[in-house]
Structure 1
Amino acid sequence: MTGLRKLVGPFTPDLGMLFARLTGAALLLHVHGIPKIVHYQEELAHIDDPLGMGRALTLWCALFAEVFCPVLIALGLFTRLAALPVVFLLAVSMVLVHPDWSIAEGQFGWLLVIVFGTIALSGAGRYSVDARLAGYALAR
């Protein structure tokens, strides 16, 4: 194990989680969250309502999952909890809103499910507010 640790470095998994958090959050914000804020009225008129909650509540839930949660995830604050609404929103979108999409057509959505599902399962890693709050040091 010592030789392998020297080969890959002591912080590789934590750097990987930092990379996944920052890039996944930035991508979700850029592609989905910010456009929904900028074009709120158009989004409200066209958003699907697969759970029957009403368009306004559905849009606010989407904004929560695509704007507020990615910010928390990027910071590494309440990371696992913040990833759950994102995974739920994406799963609802892929299964209920776009069930006719092939894997190729929905690959972006499924890849986001994989990224944020991994974050939900793995946590933020050492380079996060969560780790700081738990008292972890950056170097052992």
Structure 2
Amino acid sequence: MARLPNLPLLHSPWLPAAGLLFMRVAAAVLLLVIHGLPKLLDWSGELQRIEDPFGLGASLTLGLAVFAEVFCPLLLILGIGARLACLPVLGVLLVALVVVHPAWSLEQGQFAWLFLVLYGGLALTGPGPWVVKLPR
């Protein structure tokens, strides 16, 4: 089996930190731009389209989705309460996959499953060492 060359860069202690930073910022920006901001910026239009699987009302359901898809990704980008910020996102994803779209094939739900993997992984690992520190 071929071995990687013994380059110091490949064994640098900061690579895991850089990987977690990249993963958490990329996952958060994707969710924010693709799902969160469109909901927030077209609130009235989204009220007409949003599924309400638990009968909470369109406004509350949309508010919960916007919280999970706008506020939580912003916290994740900063690394503030990152593990906790992943939980509402995971909740919205599970509701979408299990309750709202249970008939989706793996192919149809692939992006939701990828987000589930990313946010689940970040909930398990945490944000890494490179985070914004709040003053005490």
Same fold (TM over 0.5): yes
Is 1:33 equivalent to 2:17 in the alignment? no
Partner of residue 3, structure 2: none
For residues 7-86 of structure 1, the aligned pairs below 5 Å read: 7-86=10-89
Letter in 2 for 1:100: A
Write the deviation string for residues 75-102 of structure 1: whole angstroms up to 9, x where unpaired: 0000000010001111111111111110
Aligned with 1:102 (options 91, 105, 109): 105
State the partner residue of 2:120.
117
Aligned length: 128
SS class of match (2:30) = helix
TM-score by length of 1: 0.86
The answer for the alignment partner of 2:130 in structure 1 is 127
| CA shift for structure 1 position 8 | 2.3
TM-score under structure 2 normalisation? Answer: 0.89
Mean alpha-carbon deviation: is it higher for 115-124 or for 7-16? 7-16
User: 3-state DSSP class of the match of 2:54?
Assistant: coil
The residue matched to 2:22 in structure 1 has which SS?
A: helix
- How far does residue 42 in structure 1 lie from its aligned partner after superposition? 1.0
Report what 1:87 is aligned to.
90
Partners of 2:79 and 2:57 in 1: CA distance: 31
Q: Which amino acid aligns with 1:63?
A: V
Across the aligned residues of Structure 1 and Structure 2, the Cα RMSD in angstroms comes to: 1.6
> What stretches of structure 1 move > 2 A for 4+ residues in a row?
none
SS at match of 1:49: coil
Q: What is the percent sequence identity of the aligned residues?
A: 49
Q: Which amino acid aligns with 2:92?
A: L
Q: Secondary structure at the match of 2:105?
A: coil
Distance in structure 2 (CA, Å) of the matches to 1:80 and 1:65: 13
